[in-house]
Amino acid sequence: MAPVKVGINGFGRIGRMVFQALCDQGLLGTAVDVVGVVDMSTDADYFAYQMKYDSIHGRFKHDVKTEKSDACAAEADTLIVNGNKIKCVMATRNPEDLPWGKLGVEVVIESTGIFTEADKARGHIKAGCKKVIISAPGKGDLKTIVMGVNHEQYEASMDVVSNASCTTNCLAPLVHVLLKEGLGVEKGLMTTIHSYTATQKTVDGPSKKDWRGGRAAAINIIPSATGAAKAVGEVLPVVKGKLTGMAFRVPTPDVSVVDLTFLAEKDTSIKEIDELMKKAAGSYMKGILGVTDEELVSTDFIHDNRSSIYDSLATLQNNLPGEKRMFKIVSWYDNEWGYSNRVVDLLCHMTGCKK
């Protein structure tokens, strides 16, 4: 089977992390050829620098070089990673103008955060590719996929899919286990304590629609809206309308945590919930859901490639005598690295590429 030719539109945090995950999983140059990356510059030397040195995830483990595709060019515009050549392409306001057809791209990873609507994402298809994976919550006529939860619902006829959000990828596996194991969810409230991201301000700045969102990210706990809990209802329709939630953006650069307080549909216990999560993590949710029973903190989960790591020491209940249905469960996630690995897993699921 020939390698799947991939283009990455948006070479920021998630775009670069997806690329690194392809490298670390041994897919680049074997099962996958990344033939083009798109950003606001075509300066391959700068892209190489960004990959080599990362403030959160450390040194890039692979050989990186650059070259000029045209001897007369002012700067290098081609990355060479482990011998694989990747063309650096200038971003456009319209995906239809990107050279996917010329480069032979089959699948585009849409990581700009801009083209999240299905119709806009389909501009990549008009440019010559066959399928698009949006590495963010999507809108419009598309399917939202969470690996390990509803990935079997993917159909070959689907041309644009969303990998949901990092928070949905953490929450959905927990809810999936509760449903699959018969405990059910009557209703619930989720809070994600989420690291700041590139969309936030380093100092107080303008943010007309979200006044609190314009405050300095590194010195504030900032309440924020999130659709992650409601999005679980799109992935698991049986809980649609039963979950909602909010976020607190906090002064950490990576790793977040989900707090789900829920009313089960049947009586249960902390012990049973723990046992079911551990069972799932070791079997049908292996590699997606993890479990920790140690006294860990957020930095201990940096570069953890799982979607959701259930904290068995943090589970609580609030039940009056005779009641056994109200619980709080907590799960950690590296919102950059775990999520990016799921994008790669979805790519492989859709294309049949083998690790």
Residue 315 annotated as lining a ligand binding site: no
Query: What whole-number distance in Å separates Cα of residue 110 and Cα of residue 116?
Result: 8
Q: What is the DSSP letter of 299?
A: G
Residue numbers of the domain that contains 98: 4-141
What pLDDT, on the 0 to 100 scale, is given for residue 344? 98
In a domain, 104, yes or no: yes
Query: What whole-number distance in Å separates Cα of residue 51 and Cα of residue 101?
Result: 26
CATH code, domain carrying 87 = 3.40.50.720
In a domain, 37, yes or no: yes
In a domain, 214, yes or no: yes
Query: What whole-number distance in Å separates Cα of residue 10 and Cα of residue 46?
Result: 14
- Written as six digits, the tokens of 170 are 């953490």
CATH code, domain carrying 306 = 3.30.360.10
In a domain, 158, yes or no: no
Residue 135 annotated as lining a ligand binding site: yes
Write phi, then psi, for 305 (nearest 5 degrees): -90, 5
Alpha helices by DSSP H, listed for 77-201, are 100-103, 118-121, 123-126, 166-180
SS3 at position 84: strand
What pLDDT, on the 0 to 100 scale, is given for residue 228? 95
Same domain for 298 and 184? yes
Same domain for 33 and 170? no
Query: What whole-number distance in Å separates Cα of residue 241 and Cα of residue 253?
Result: 32
Using CA atoms, how far residue 174 sits from 151, 197, 280, 291, 294, in Å, is 15, 24, 10, 11, 19
- Written as six digits, the tokens of 299 are 């930095």
Same domain for 286 and 174? yes
What pLDDT, on the 0 to 100 scale, is given for residue 63? 96
Same domain for 127 and 21? yes
Same domain for 54 and 18? yes
Task: Say how far residue 306 (Cα) sits from the centre of its chain.
Answer: 11
Residue 342 annotated as lining a ligand binding site: no
Same domain for 38 and 133? yes
Q: Which of 166, 170, 348, 353 is catalytic?
A: 166
Half-sphere exposure in the Cβ direction for 256 (13 Å, CA): 26
What pLDDT, on the 0 to 100 scale, is given for residue 70? 85
Same domain for 176 and 127? no
Catalytic-residue membership of 353: no
Binned average pLDDT, 10 residues per bin, the chain of 355 residues: 95 97 96 97 96 97 94 88 96 96 98 96 98 97 97 97 98 98 97 96 94 97 95 96 97 98 97 98 98 98 98 96 95 98 98 85
Same domain for 102 and 176? no
In a domain, 146, yes or no: no
Residue 83 annotated as lining a ligand binding site: no
Residue 226 annotated as lining a ligand binding site: yes
Query: What whole-number distance in Å separates Cα of residue 242 and Cα of residue 259?
Result: 16
Query: What whole-number distance in Å separates Cα of residue 101 and Cα of residue 112?
Result: 20
Residue 249 annotated as lining a ligand binding site: yes
Helix (H) or strand (E) holding 266: none
Same domain for 18 and 127? yes
What pLDDT, on the 0 to 100 scale, is given for residue 354? 77
Same domain for 108 and 180? no
Same domain for 314 and 177? yes
If one counts the domains in the chain, the total is 2
The answer for 255, left when phi > 0, alpha when psi is -120 to 50, beta otherwise, is: left
In a domain, 351, yes or no: no
Same domain for 199 and 68? no
DSSP letters along 62-112, please? S-EEEE-SSTT-SS--EEEETTEEEEEEE--SSGGGS-HHHHT--EEEE-S
In a domain, 345, yes or no: no
Residue 167 annotated as lining a ligand binding site: yes
